[in-house]
Every structure is written in C-alpha cells, then in structure tokens.
C-alpha cells in the first residue's frame, strides 16, 4: 500500500469521458425527479381517495416499492417487464422508470405530510368565511404544503444522484458505469473510483448543506 505509485494521469486522461458520464447522471436524476414528482402526486391522490379500491391500489404500490430493494426493482423492470409485455426496453428507460417509481413512493409521503402539516383550523377559517373546499385547498392548503415539501423534494434529488449509480449494473452509461469501464482498461480502480466518489461527494454535499440551511430557515418562520 505504501509503495503504491499513484497514477492520477490515467484519470485526467479520461476526464472528458467521465464528465460525460456525470452529465448523464445529472440528466437522469433531473428527469427522474420530475417523473417521480408526478408519480408521487398520483400515488398521494390514490392514497387519499374517497374510493376504497383506489386507496388500496395507492397504498399497495407504496408498500411494495418501499419494502423491496431498489436494485431488485431495477433488475425487475429491465429484465422482467420486457418478458411480460414483449417489448425491449432500453437500459436508460428502464433505469428512469425504476428510479422514478421508487422515488415516487417516497415523494407521495412527502406530499401527504405536507398537506397534513397545515393545521385544520386554517381550513376551518376559510370554510367559515365562505371559501369553497377547492378555493380553500388552492389558496390556503397548497401554498403552505408546497413550502413544506420543497426541501424534502430537493433531498430526493440528492438521493437520486446517488441511486442513479445503480444504472451501472444494467450498463447505463452514467459516471459510475464509465468508471467501471475505465478501470477495466487502465487497471487503476483506486484512482478511478476514488475520483468518482469525490465527484459525487462534491455535488451532493453542498446540496445537502443548502437544504439543511433552507429547512432551518423554514422552521424559524
């Protein structure tokens, strides 16, 4: 270990290749976040539905997704969905579907707690003043709930950046996959994976700190 000759030049030499992977990672994370926000809203609406059957569907999706490993889900989407539906799914599409579904099940909880964080009295005040339930939701509940859900949504984005590395397993060409490919040709896993870990860290850490700051400010209000 002490005699190890670092060869960082093997990493710098492939800097553009790795950064291309990072770009892919960020694009995947962003697209997935948007889809997960929409999916989360659908699951949350199902959960809170008046109809028992819809509630049951929403709750079942959430429970299944939250209680199975994300990696198994990705493999399932990539390998099993094509068998069931007889269509070939691109690895990238499979990754985005799998991640979006996974995050959606958590984001639905974020929405729900956001809505429930608005005190009942605020809605009663609206009701007594004659606002309709829809007006009350749009004007009183939603603006407050959104403010509460933004920091957790941002945290979900950070999580997605990390989880998207699982795409490497189904050979999506994001930064981790490219690192695997690089280390297989330069035989320098230490430099390669250390560099990649550092890249992840310096993207996720500032974001996480910013979110913590943001949450503290919201709580102080």
Binding residues for other proteins, rule: CB under 8 A, are 119, 121-122, 124-131, 135, 139-140, 143-144, 147, 221
Question: Shortest gap between Cβ of 107 and other proteins (angstroms)?
Answer: 22
CB nearer to other proteins: give 69 or 143: 143
CB nearer to other proteins: give 24 or 115: 115
CB nearer to other proteins: give 36 or 118: 118
Question: Shortest gap between Cβ of 111 and other proteins (angstroms)?
Answer: 17
Question: Shortest gap between Cβ of 131 and other proteins (angstroms)?
Answer: 6
Residue where the block lists tokens 């992840």: 200
The Cα–Cα gap between 221 and 217 comes to 7
The Cα–Cα gap between 32 and 29 comes to 5
Angle at 179 between CA 207 and CA 10, to 5 degrees: 110
CB atoms closer than 10 angstroms to residue 106: 18
CB nearer to other proteins: give 144 or 173: 144
Question: Shortest gap between Cβ of 32 and other proteins (angstroms)?
Answer: 29
Which of 166, 165, 193 lies closest to 179 in space, CA to CA? Answer: 193
């Amino acid at each position: 270990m002490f005699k190890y000759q670092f060869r960082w030049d093997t990493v710098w030499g492939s800097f553009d290749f790795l950064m291309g992977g990072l770009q892919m990672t960020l694009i995947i994370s962003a697209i997935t976040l948007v889809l997960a926000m929409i999916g989360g809203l659908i699951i949350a609406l199902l959960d809170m539905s008046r109809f028992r059957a819809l509630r049951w569907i929403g709750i079942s999706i959430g429970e299944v997704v939250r209680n199975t490993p994300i990696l198994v889900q990705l493999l399932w989407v990539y390998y099993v969905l094509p068998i069931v539906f007889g269509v070939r799914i691109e690895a990238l599409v499979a990754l985005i579907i799998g991640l979006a579904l996974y995050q959606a099940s958590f984001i639905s909880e974020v929405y729900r707690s956001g809505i429930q964080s608005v005190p009942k009295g605020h809605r009663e005040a609206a009701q007594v003043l004659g606002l309709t339930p829809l007006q009350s939701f749009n004007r009183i509940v939603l603006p407050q709930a959104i403010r509460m859900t933004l920091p957790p949504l941002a945290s979900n984005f950070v999580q997605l950046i990390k989880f998207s590395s699982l795409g490497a397993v189904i050979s999506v060409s994001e930064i981790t996959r490219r690192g695997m490919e690089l280390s297989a040709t330069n035989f320098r896993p230490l430099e390669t994976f250390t560099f990649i870990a550092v890249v992840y860290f310096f993207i996720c850490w500032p974001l996480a700190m910013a979110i913590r700051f943001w949450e503290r400010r919201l709580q102080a209000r």
